[in-house]
Amino acid sequence: MADPLRREVVRLYRSLLYLGREYPQGQVYFRERLKAAFMRNKDETDPEKIKKLVAKGDFVIKELEMMYYLRKYRTMKKRYYEPEK
């Protein structure tokens, strides 16, 4: 794997690991699943395939961020607004 791609993969792993702290099923569950996902593709050498996998990982980051924002929004809404009947 080329050095710039390696940096991208490590950046992606660290970002996902950081986001996994607030995962609803727990950080340990998330870390195990993350490691398994990265280990499945550890032998990949094709730069184009690696770029596609990194792009997919970036999409997962965006999805996790949106899930966390939605959870925070719902919590705030419950605190400040009366439930609708």
Quote the crossing angle between the two packed helices 47-80 and 3-19, to the nearest 10°: 20
**Average pLDDT, 10 consecutive residues per value, the chain (85 residues):** 83 94 89 94 91 95 91 84 72
pTM here is 0.78
Q: Are 11 and 57 in contact (CB under 8 A)?
A: no
Give the integer Cα–Cα distance in Å for 51 and 8.
Answer: 9
Give the integer Cα–Cα distance in Å for 13 and 52.
Answer: 15
The single-letter DSSP state of residue 25 is: T
Q: What local confidence, expressed as pLDDT, does residue 12 receive?
A: 95
Q: Are 20 and 38 in contact (CB under 8 A)?
A: no
Residue type, 45: T
Give the integer Cα–Cα distance in Å for 73 and 69.
Answer: 6
Q: What local confidence, expressed as pLDDT, does residue 59 receive?
A: 95
